[in-house]
Homo-oligomer: A and B are copies of this chain.
């Protein structure tokens, strides 16, 4: 019998990572968030910091630069070239994770990469703006940029990244098995639902 995999995609500030960690702990599954970044760094030779910056929340790969360098002649090792290389490495690692044990994987297009893996449960966590604003201010403190703007910018990057590598629309129900509004249902209840579904 093959291992179980739970992929958790999440809006920034929705508590998706917290839910993912709680689920992994309760089920005794491997947890891949920072651990995935470390693996990608190891296999690519880039630093963890670099991998993180060029990942799904990429701040240096605007969609404009992205498209420009993809459509332009040559320069494949430019901005998009590096992102593409990292994506391939990430893709190969994620494909392999289920063989190493049951696991919970946060973000990084894992829902798409493992869409054909039979024992997978694909989850999307989101919340209303006010819930997310309260949460990130509490967790990360105030910044120069308004929390609404921080949230929008972060998710916009994830959307672009996801669309670019999967061709899908980030947050469309059909990409996942379950989508949960953590602001409405609460973080604990979301974790409960996922654990219950995984145990069946």
Contacts and interface: CB of A to CB of B under 8 A. Distances in A.
Interface of A: 121, 124, 126, 169, 171-174, 176-181, 184-185, 189, 193, 197, 200
Contacts of A176: 173, 179, 181
A179 B200 CA distance: 18
A11 B186 CA distance: 26
Q: Could you say how many copies of this chain the assembly holds?
A: 2
A29 B46 CA distance: 57
A100 B86 CA distance: 56
Contacts of A174: 126, 171, 181
A177 B185 contact: yes
A177 B181 contact: yes
Contact of A173 (B121, B171, B197): B171
21 contacts: A124-B179, A126-B173, A169-B172, A171-B172, A171-B173, A171-B174, A173-B173, A173-B176, A173-B179, A173-B181, A174-B181, A176-B179, A176-B181, A177-B185, A178-B180, A178-B181, A178-B185, A179-B179, A185-B197, A189-B200, A193-B193
Contacts of A181: 173-174, 176-178
What are the 9 tightest A-B residue pairs by CB atom distance, in nearest-first order?
A: A179-B179, A173-B179, A177-B181, A177-B184, A171-B173, A173-B173, A124-B173, A126-B173, A126-B174
Contacts of A121: 184
Contacts of A184: 121, 177
Contacts of A177: 180-181, 184-185
Q: Which of A126, A177, A189 has the most chain B CB within a 10 Å cutoff? A: A177
Nearest to A171: B173
Q: Which of A173, A179, A200 has the most CB of B within 10 A?
A: A173
